[in-house]
Amino acid sequence: MFAGVGGLVLAAGKGTRMHSETPKVLQTILGDPMLSYVLRACAPVCEDRLHVVVGHGADTVRQAFPEWEGRFVVQDRQLGTGHALATALPVLVAAGYGHVLVVNGDMPLLTTDILAGFVAKALEMDSDVAFATIELDQPGAYGRVVRTSDGVRIVEAKDHDPSRHGPATGEINAGLYLLRLSVIQRLVPLLRNENQSGEFYITDLVEMAAQSGGVVAAIKRGRDAALLGVNSPRELSQAEEALRAGRVDDLFDQGVLVRNPGQVRVGPRVTVAPGAEMTGPCELYGGTAVGAGTKVGSHVWIRDCTLAPGCEILPFSHLDGATVGPLCKVGPFARLRAGAVLCEEARVGNFVEVKKSVLGRGVKAGHLTYLGDAEVGAGTNVGAGTITCNYDGKNKHATVIGENAFIGSNTSLVAPVTIGADALIGAGSVITHDVPDGTLAVARGRQSNIMRKRPAS
């Protein structure tokens, strides 16, 4: 979008105020790491010129974003934002960028439009150092913007002294910068850490650039909450709620019927076709795709699933990594685990669990059943209480059931085993050997009725 503009996302901090060992940028919002929101916003602006500084939990962050390998810069010691920039500077200079857009990795409300507008304005002003400002009634721990007749500077909250810098005006640094590399390359080595935190601040570049005759631009964004970072559990929850509400509004605009919308949570990568319906409370995360006419009931949790048009997910069902075909019905109280595939018009009912199994067209498993590592042919009926005994304590084994078979209630199929097409398994059987096509298999002890012994009266 902007040739010659590279991008740098600062994602090295621990986030002490989150009170968690998880790197702050990996805290999830609507199921996705906070950092992913920033990267998605930056990518169209910087294209393949985007780099990420990691530090605390660097390996964990890199593992969470394997597609970004080769773009990471490791800050071994977290000595402040200025030090993070210094660590990345050789990479940025070697790439030959004219400017670099610097963004904090804890700004999940950022949008591409905001970033593009900021960069365009800063370039138009031909600035050497540009930064965005917003106004807050309670500036908290954000750096204060101090404007005087001599120019503008940023003073970190811990270092702000009203007797020296004047009273806080509510204008704060938003943590968004566009820096001319030729200028910054000269100034960054001059940064000092003589402040309350003992850190090297990127914000000091503003005053340093002005004093050296550079062009500094403080670009006001009013009260734009999208530029606020996340520094505490409360702020994370507030950001998540803002994104949740905006996501639901988008669904309405796309022609999706959302009932009880205040309790519907849909992740940023979820796609929902017009004409689909969902009823809160429900949660859809990851790369889930919902087809037209599909209905998602209340108290349903879904992640990384494909729901074909016209299927129905009944209340209290849990789906993770499953594929549900057209006109299927799932639930209530069903669980589809990774690798579960339901072909057209299959039916999985209450308290049925399916894992790494394919259920053919029209298969019915109505009640209290576990199907793991199985292939079930079209038209087969699986009775209540059936389980595929797929694990022998060391390895998983497959169960194959042919088309139009009938599995009686309370049956155990001890894998590896194959049940032929049109076979009938008697209720209560424990099947340990293959059953040929079209045969009846019964594997249970013969019933004996023995007279009870009653105590003497």
Positions annotated as catalytic residues are 367
Q: Is the CB of residue 203 less than 8 Å from the CB of residue 81?
A: yes
DSSP 407: E
Q: What are phi and psi of 15, to 5 degrees?
A: 75, 60
**Binding site, annotated residues for acetyl-CoA:** 384, 390-391, 409, 427, 444
Rounded distance, CA 403 to CA 23, Å? 50
Going by the annotation, the residues of the binding site for Mg(2+) are 106, 231
Dig out the tokens for 303 from the structure.
């992640």
Annotated binding site: 10-13, 24, 75, 80-81, 106, 143, 156, 173, 231, 337, 355, 370, 381, 384, 390-391, 409, 427, 444
Take residue 243 and report the two structure tokens written for it. 């994104």
Pairing state between β 32-33 and 28-29: antiparallel
Which residues sit opposite 365 in a β-bridge?
348, 382
Rounded CA separation 298/49 (Å)? 43
Residues annotated in the binding site for UDP-N-acetyl-alpha-D-glucosamine, as ranges?
Answer: 10-13, 24, 75, 80-81, 143, 156, 173, 231, 337, 355, 370, 381
Strands (E), 373-425: 374-376, 381-382, 387-389, 399-401, 406-407, 412-414, 417-419, 424-425
Identity of the amino acid at 261: P
Say whether the peptide bond before residue 281 is cis (omega within 30 degrees of 0).
Answer: yes
Separation between Cα atoms, residue 355 and residue 25, nearest integer Å: 32
Cα angle value 252/29/248 (rounded, 5°): 5
Q: Where are the alpha helices (DSSP H) in 101-215?
A: 112-124, 162-165, 181-187, 204-211
Q: What's the rounded Cα separation, in Å, for the pair 196 and 217? A: 26
